Amino acid sequence: MEPFARIDPRREEPEDVRYLPLMDCESKLLPIHFLTQAEMGREEAIMRQWLDVCVTDGGLLVAQQKLRKRPLLVAQMLEEWLNHYRRIAQVITAPFVGRPQQTGYSSEGDSDEE
């Protein structure tokens, strides 16, 4: 079973789409690591098989990443985690609002009056 196969694509849900380039600045396909000998030379077909691929108006091969709304439990957990670290940041910065006063002592044995 493919990941996310249970998600109904016809569901009316707002989503953002991000386009991830699959080619470098010289219009060469990005390398795919760990291919077998039989798969060599079929990189674009493999990308199209495993990714949601499209071509831009400029001819750039890109993968579409659809970002759906987070599930409620995930959103709550994320908010709790962020609040925890916000509280830590407030506690750390609160006692050190003012800078400590510098005393006029020098590390040398000479006094300031000389």
Q: For 87-111, write each residue's pLDDT tens digit.
A: 998 888 776 655 555 556 555 665 5
- The distance in angstroms from the start CA to the end CA of the chain is 84
Q: Is residue 59 part of a domain?
A: yes
Q: Is residue 4 part of a domain?
A: no
DSSP annotation of 29: B
Give the number of domains in the chain: 1
pTM (global) more than 0.85: no
pLDDT band per the 50, 70, 90 thresholds, residue 19: very high
- The edge-to-edge listing of strands for the beta sheet with 15-21 is 15-21, 61-68, 53-55
Q: Is residue 86 part of a domain?
A: no
pLDDT band per the 50, 70, 90 thresholds, residue 49: very high
The residue with greater pLDDT, 1 or 32, is 32
Range of the domain at 21: 15-68
